[in-house]
Structure 1
Amino acid sequence: KDLHFPVSIPHVSSPPSTEFPADWSIKTRLLFTSSQPFTWAEHLKAQEEAQGFAQHCRGTSVNFPQSIQEPKLSVELRCAFQQSLIYWLHPSLPWLQLFPRIGADRKIAGKARLWSHDEALQQVLMSEWSVSFTSLYNLLKAKLCPYFYVCTYQFTVLFRAAGLAGTDVITAVVSPTTRGLREAMRNEGIEFSLPLNAPHHNLSVFPRHQGVSDDESFSWLEEMGVQDKIKKPDAVSIKLRKEKHEVQMDHKPESVALVKGTNTFTLLNFLINCKSLVAAAGPQAGLPPTLLSPVAFRGATMQTLKARSINVKAQVHSCYNDIFSLEIMGPIMPHCLHALTMLLKSAQRGAFSAVLYTHEPTAVFNTNTERILNKETVCKDLMKCGLHLKTLDQLIQSPTLGKSAIRLLEMRDYAYTWKS
């Protein structure tokens, strides 16, 4: 069915480039539009679907010429398209939508939850989940999985292999956090920083053993001989001020916590044993967090993103033109966005636009982690992680988008511009 909507081209804020920056947020929907049809993405044959699954499982990288003359007739293109839509999920409960989890109570409510009153069943679900989570971490450590997400009903964690996002150690980014969660992590001995909280550096590196004492910070007033003129804040008011600041950033992007190196393993154990990881009441009660990964792991099920092409009549300067569009729905991870753009570049002759819908709580994963690395050795180690080498090259770069995510991506004459 034709859809009618006016197309306004937003102002694009980046200079044209052959590549767009890595976007570590999870997208819920992509809408690609082009003046060339997307018929090549429709009605895949059983053989093409099977080939796409096999290519994914074997980590086959397919490279295409700059332009495919007859995309509709290209079996390779259709197989690669199927390959790019695959992701891995745990737990798999087909009657429940397991992503997103934050703010999903209404979607999950009313669905029969066999485990909500069954303690034994909850324990089985959690022990299976722990096995899957540990399996993913081991794959990540061995650089056989590039990254994965742990989506709880309150926060999301992105684990990245050493070598990705400009860092030479494993990193885990947790967002949003609350004072309670940060306290619990500190008590477990997990060292973390709050990268978006730099002005308050006294709050930024944990555990809190080091730092200038409040007495020392007043010694310079004594040297100037003005200590009597200034009311020295007592320990209680200093503590209250810190606590107020801590609580003010709860649930906000600024509360993002960054965990590095061996601390990520401590974080894994903390999450496995953390009682508040699973809702105690409400529609998500007893449901383990969702694990999302680009590659297979123990206990995972293979899922595919939903794709459909739509013919749109778009109004450009008072006349209607045919605009073809391709919609992708589901948890769209960073590698998937990149893989799709590589296919579209060849199939749509270097010209298309995309509107990207972000799962907002994950936009902050684009915060820079500030570690420089020796790119050559790292890239070589990551070559078996299941990603296309060009995609891997994008994800190795240090994040540049800050707290924002790409909203609009446009390709003209094989060059990208984007707006975040």
Structure 2
Amino acid sequence: MAELLPGYSPSFKKPSEILRLSRRRSRSEASKAGVSPFSPGDVTKRVPGLRPFSPGPNKGAGVKRRNPFANLENTVCSPVKRRAESVPECASPEPRALVAARPSCWELGSPSPQPPQFNSVEDVIWGDPLADPLVKTESPEKPATACETPKGSVTFPADWSLKTRLLFTSSQSFSWADHLKAQEEAQGLVMHCRATAVSLPHSIQEPKLSTELRCAFQQSLVHWVHPSFPWVQLFPRIGIDRKMVGKNSPWSHDESLQQVIMSEWALSFTSLYNLLKAKLCPYFYVCTYQFTVLFRAAGLAGSDVITAVMSPTTRGLREAMKNEGITFTQPLVEEDPSKKQKNSEANSQGDITPKKENGNTETDEVSDESDEDESFSWLEEMGVEDKIKKPDSISIKLRKEKNEVKLDHKPESVVLVKGTNTFTLLNFLINCKSIVAAAGPQAGLPPTLLSPVAFRGATMQTLKARSVNVKTQVRSGYKDQFSLEITGPIMPHSLHSLTMLLQSAQRGSFSAGFYSHDPTAVFNTPIHPQAAKEISADLQNCGLHPSTVEQLSQVNQLGKLSLRHLELSDYRYTWKS
């Protein structure tokens, strides 16, 4: 065929001949320049787009063979180059020196990266995909989370979640917390009832000989509960049906007994709210088998009014609250963008009327109905309203409620009630039959009331404390490790009081692991009010230590998380949530 067609050249069928000519050309060029015939380093310097050769022995081969099927399009945007761009730095086979020398497009203040410059077709074909300056070589540093303080702080943020277990560990012994004397135990109970504030020294050399420390430890373990049935677990109430199976509950099938128990519970609940309103009780919890409610006095969590936080909730519960006239907000639910735009336009036009906190008022319902009418008005204008089937009102309502149902039993379903609406919530909970289980192990059992101070019908109880000494293996042998375990319904004031005691007793060094009741972690959600003034003066008679009141008065910082780990080193705290 070559003889018939003079312009035809079957050279592509003989790559060895092409390589031989290429080597001869490279040797001739090298001899003219007065250098060795071939050197991988020299070729890299002479042709910047060439890939470096492997460190294996050179068997006389010249430059790397050119791909005869390559062209400009499929080389610049080749799959190899795309894969190289997606390969992270840790998986790159390129030396770190080359990566560090190349400019990174993540550096702040650096000019925008320029596209690679190719001087010839070979530069494009032989170009190293990893030499592209657009390739991302370094990942940006992750911003430090707000939940960690690397430098430490003299205090730690308030945690409004209920704890079920605390585990403190230290290199110093916790033997001082064991086997309290009868006099020390009695003195600690009296100190709690009289709200005696204890000021301990900065460091205690002999904690076991300090009677004041041991009495203060007993004082920090006291809390008040209603109702009280020693054979029944009253906290937590959510998800404990299996543990309560087989327990004797005479009220579950006796309606008259249920009425007596519920009437006493209503009196205790009302007594607690009156103490809260008078600022003689800082806060209390209402624990049902479905949700938990935290009532806080005015001045706590940065709010100048009484607040109540409820979680988790369901759409049915929220609808029942709206029907009772309870105004509330959902802090973790983002507002509808269309409504947000309408509100901003109304505010810009001078409408400063405060918006009600509950989402569906009568005006909102009217506006929603008008929006529905407007959405189908264009069908009437076109004259096809009879030919197209419009969704009925039930379908429209279900579509709107779909997003609300998705929030059920999730942290985002948390509800916030403020001011006088908390009293309406009190009456709603007293008269609501659904807060008491109708069947199952918890049938007929009223919600658990937890408070740091005494109230009508309450029972004094103490947290359980147990110290353990273990030996941990280190390089040189074994080292003594001491731990203190606290179990029970641990409220925020107990957590702060215990850390203050351990700070002095353990010489400013310990670590702690916290086990929270998950449904209550969302109670740390900030409510964004104006800061209250003269908080300490108003709450000086609430029964808590002044430093504890100061901590609980701060605006929430943990969001919908809770403290998981706390460490004290050289009298400075670091924490994780």
Which structure 2 residues correspond to residues 333-372 of structure 1 after superposition, within 5 A?
A: 333-372=491-530
What is aligned with 1:176? 312
C-alpha distance in 1 between matches for 2:558 and 2:200: 28
What is aligned with 2:574? 417
Alpha-carbon distance, 1:241 to partner? 2.7
The alignment-based identity, stated in percent, is 70
Alpha-carbon distance, 1:126 to partner? 0.1
State the number of aligned residues. Answer: 405
What is aligned with 1:3? none
Is the CA contact (8 Å cut-off) linking 2:302 and 2:532 kept in structure 1?
A: no
- Structure 1 residue aligned with 2:205, among 43, 49, 69? 69
Which structure 2 residues correspond to residues 4-43 of structure 1 after superposition, within 5 A?
A: 13-15=148-150, 16-43=152-179
Is the CA contact (8 Å cut-off) linking 1:166 and 1:396 kept in structure 2?
A: yes
Partner SS state of residue 568, structure 2: strand
TM-score between the two structures when normalised by the length of structure 2: 0.67
Relative distance call for 1:374 and 1:113 in structure 2 (3 A) is closer
What is aligned with 1:52? 188
What is aligned with 1:291? 449
Match status 1:400 vs 2:400: no
What is aligned with 1:4? none
Alpha-carbon distance, 1:218 to partner? 9.9
Greater Rg by CA: 2
User: Which of 104-113 and 381-390 deviates more?
Assistant: 104-113
Is the CA contact (8 Å cut-off) linking 1:186 and 1:206 kept in structure 2?
A: no
Match status 1:109 vs 2:245: yes
Name the aligned partner's letter for residue 205 of structure 1. Answer: N
What is aligned with 1:6? none
Is the CA contact (8 Å cut-off) linking 1:190 and 1:206 kept in structure 2?
A: no
User: Which of 237-246 and 53-62 deviates more?
Assistant: 237-246
What is aligned with 2:362? 209
Bigger RCO of structures 1 and 2 (CA < 8 A, at least 6 apart): 1
Is the CA contact (8 Å cut-off) linking 1:277 and 1:289 kept in structure 2?
A: yes
Alpha-carbon distance, 1:361 to partner? 0.6
Alpha-carbon distance, 1:215 to partner? 4.5
Is the CA contact (8 Å cut-off) linking 2:163 and 2:489 kept in structure 1?
A: yes
Relative distance call for 1:113 and 1:91 in structure 2 (3 A) is same
Structure number with the higher strand fraction is: 1
TM-score between the two structures when normalised by the length of structure 1: 0.91
C-alpha distance in 2 between matches for 1:200 and 1:68: 57
- Structure 2 residue aligned with 1:327, among 485, 488, 498? 485
Q: Unaligned regions of 5+ residues in structure 2, if any?
A: 1-144, 340-355
Alpha-carbon distance, 1:214 to partner? 6.2
User: Which of 200-209 and 94-103 deviates more?
Assistant: 200-209
What is aligned with 1:387? 544
The Cα offsets for residues 248-295 of structure 1, whole Å up to 9 and x where unpaired, read as 000000000000000000000000000101000000000000000000
Alpha-carbon distance, 1:208 to partner? 1.9
Is the CA contact (8 Å cut-off) linking 1:407 and 1:419 kept in structure 2?
A: yes
Alpha-carbon distance, 1:242 to partner? 2.1
The Cα offsets for residues 116-163 of structure 1, whole Å up to 9 and x where unpaired, read as 110100000000000000000000000000000000000000000000
Name the aligned partner's letter for residue 90 of structure 1. Answer: H
C-alpha distance in 2 between matches for 1:146 and 1:173: 14
CA RMSD in angstroms comes to 2.5
C-alpha distance in 2 between matches for 1:86 and 1:382: 20
Name the aligned partner's letter for residue 287 of structure 2. Answer: C
C-alpha distance in 2 between matches for 1:262 and 1:365: 20
Which structure 2 residues correspond to residues 131-146 of structure 1 after superposition, within 5 A?
A: 131-146=267-282
Which structure 2 residues correspond to residues 89-238 of structure 1 after superposition, within 5 A?
A: 89-200=225-336, 205-211=358-364, 212-213=367-368, 215=370, 238=396
C-alpha distance in 1 between matches for 2:421 and 2:293: 14
